[in-house]
Amino acid sequence: MFPLTASFGGIVALCLGLLPSLFIQHVLSLQQAQLVQQSEQLRNFAILNGILAADDKDYTCSASKKCKLGCCGSVDKTTGKGFCGLGPDFCGEGCLSTCNEKSECDPGWGTEWSNASACPLNVCCSKFGFCGTSVDFCGGKTVPSPQCRAGKSADQKLIGYYEGWNLQRPCGTMKAEDIPLGRYTHINFAFALIHPLTFQVAPMDKDTASLYKRVTALKNRQVGLEVWIAIGGWAMNDPGIYRTAFSDMAKSEVKQDLFFESLISFMLRHSFDGVDLDWEYPVAPDRGGIPEDFDNLVNLLARLRKRLNETGRKFGLTITLPASYWYLRGFNIIKIEPYLDWFNIMTYDIHGVWDRNVKSLGPYAFAHTNLTEIQMGLELLWRNNINPGRVVMGLGFYGRSFTMKDPDCMEPGCEFIDGAKGGECTGTPGVLSAHEIVQIIKNGATVKTDEAAAVNIVTWDTNQWVSWDDAHTLKRKLDYANAHCLGGTMVWAIDLDDGTLLEALGSGMSTPKRPVVEELPTMVYDFETPWFNDNFTE
């Protein structure tokens, strides 16, 4: 569940000096500034969609030199040179080449010039026909967030993901029996997978599978605790045999049914209370997705909800959502909302080492849980009238880290060359657990709180940089969730903390800590699962 997030709508800085001077000397049908803005959006879209290389700064064209994206219009008659753009001004009368190109959305010039009338997720259509959320696309239009002054809604639910593979780390591990209880209302066990041929629930590996029952047994120690199975995760859709399993299963009702029956017996067998589908991501070609995923996911969830109801049990059903427009547009959030108990929105990993490959961002260090950007992610939901009570906001018990280029430039926005060195226990460059960051601070790091972003920036060893959340910034985020009527918070992940962050987060809630039975009962009685009774009466 480490999504590669590409914040769309960032504008590529365009060097005005590169515009050919002949253009400036001639009076064209469009205002010069408009043409520049148009070119920027065209170029940004083309780069993000892999049509143009990032360093391709030429968007002039002629009868023989075709546009890589857009129509060759706005032509200077004396030189025969034009500019690439969309809509009637470029594709209509006077267009020189590639005149059938259509814009992403229709800013009002008519659907004959556009691929679609509106933008995905109700984001703004700029006057040049491109979709985005920044001021260049929306002008002065803003999105109102739900308001619940002095609200307490988010205190009702605290979901913790538990990494079933965490015991494979050399240190900083957490056995199932050591999961701190009393604060979490739900534990989501991460992960199980979908077998790419049989479409049955498949374990990640034997060791992870051996923990299912040990985690669900915690329900005996905290009344009302629910333990759900999370299926999927970021790595499942990496290149490999599992990559298209979600997509293939969603495409066929026969395969959906194979998955449903397997899932239900799996949940009954291991005493899970619900399922959280972490498909990362439908439709996204870079994640094994196809366009049909958009509708197939609606069908999958409608049918799964119905099938779960038929069991007569109260199985829960949720999915995780990315917080970026780039990936969220693959979800038909309006249509799927009614089938879900809630959405878990992954409002973390907003920045990381992958930014250097995102053409509109580049190798600049920013915090991965910036509240300003979290709000921008949530606004994608409010644009679509999603019920905030059905939205659970993600919090990170870990940091995203960088090795900075220049030890004299350690502020957010300074250049990085790589992830920071891997931690002693987590061992992966670019990420550090809360447990490890606490240790780094104890050893004498510099900690700065950025109040506007509600994050901490920790720097050490001259060029090491990590952003993370402590008790104070977690409280800021919890307050935000309450003030905007959200249904709860979730954390990735229980085992990355030594219990300190959880206690800090929980103690800031209006809900009291739930009573915990310390000793594990010697026998787990489960009279509802049929084959348990069978074994028992033998």
> Which positions touch ligand NAG (CB under 6 A)?
102-104, 115, 305-306, 309, 366-367, 370, 372-373, 412-413, 450, 453, 455
Total count of residues recorded for the chain: 538
Q: Please count the CA atoms within 13 angstroms of the CA of 517 that sit on its side-chain side.
A: 13
Provide the minimum distance between the beta carbon of 350 and ligand NAG in the complex, in angstroms, as a whole number. 9
**Dihedral (CA of 259, 225, 496, 168) sign:** negative
Provide the minimum distance between the beta carbon of 104 and ligand NAG in the complex, in angstroms, as a whole number. 4
Q: What are phi and psi of 391, to 5 degrees?
A: -125, 125
Nearer to ligand NAG, 238 or 411 (CB): 411
| Whole-Å CA distances, 40 to 46, 137, 244 | 10, 12, 35
CA distance 174 to 198: 32
Nearer to ligand NAG, 367 or 386 (CB): 367
Q: What DSSP element (H or E) covers 261?
A: helix 253-270
Nearer to ligand NAG, 94 or 412 (CB): 412
Structural contact between residues 481 and 148, judged by C-beta atoms closer than 8 angstroms: no
CA distance 1 to 346: 9
Q: Please count the CA atoms within 13 angstroms of the CA of 245 that sit on its side-chain side.
A: 28
Structural contact between residues 134 and 9, judged by C-beta atoms closer than 8 angstroms: yes
DSSP 521: P
Nearer to ligand NAG, 37 or 370 (CB): 370
Nearer to ligand NAG, 131 or 187 (CB): 131
Structural contact between residues 256 and 250, judged by C-beta atoms closer than 8 angstroms: yes
Structural contact between residues 27 and 35, judged by C-beta atoms closer than 8 angstroms: no
Provide the minimum distance between the beta carbon of 444 and ligand NAG in the complex, in angstroms, as a whole number. 22
Say which residue the tokens 């008790």 belong to. Answer: 471
Nearer to ligand NAG, 50 or 139 (CB): 50
CA distance 339 to 341: 7
Nearer to ligand NAG, 1 or 455 (CB): 455
Provide the minimum distance between the beta carbon of 512 and ligand NAG in the complex, in angstroms, as a whole number. 28
Provide the minimum distance between the beta carbon of 250 and ligand NAG in the complex, in angstroms, as a whole number. 17
Nearer to ligand NAG, 51 or 483 (CB): 51
Nearer to ligand NAG, 410 or 494 (CB): 410
Provide the minimum distance between the beta carbon of 73 and ligand NAG in the complex, in angstroms, as a whole number. 15
Provide the minimum distance between the beta carbon of 305 and ligand NAG in the complex, in angstroms, as a whole number. 4
Provide the minimum distance between the beta carbon of 349 and ligand NAG in the complex, in angstroms, as a whole number. 13
CA distance 494 to 505: 12
Nearer to ligand NAG, 115 or 510 (CB): 115
Provide the minimum distance between the beta carbon of 276 and ligand NAG in the complex, in angstroms, as a whole number. 17
Provide the minimum distance between the beta carbon of 507 and ligand NAG in the complex, in angstroms, as a whole number. 26
CA distance 513 to 477: 20
Q: Please count the CA atoms within 13 angstroms of the CA of 42 that sit on its side-chain side.
A: 27
Structural contact between residues 240 and 535, judged by C-beta atoms closer than 8 angstroms: no
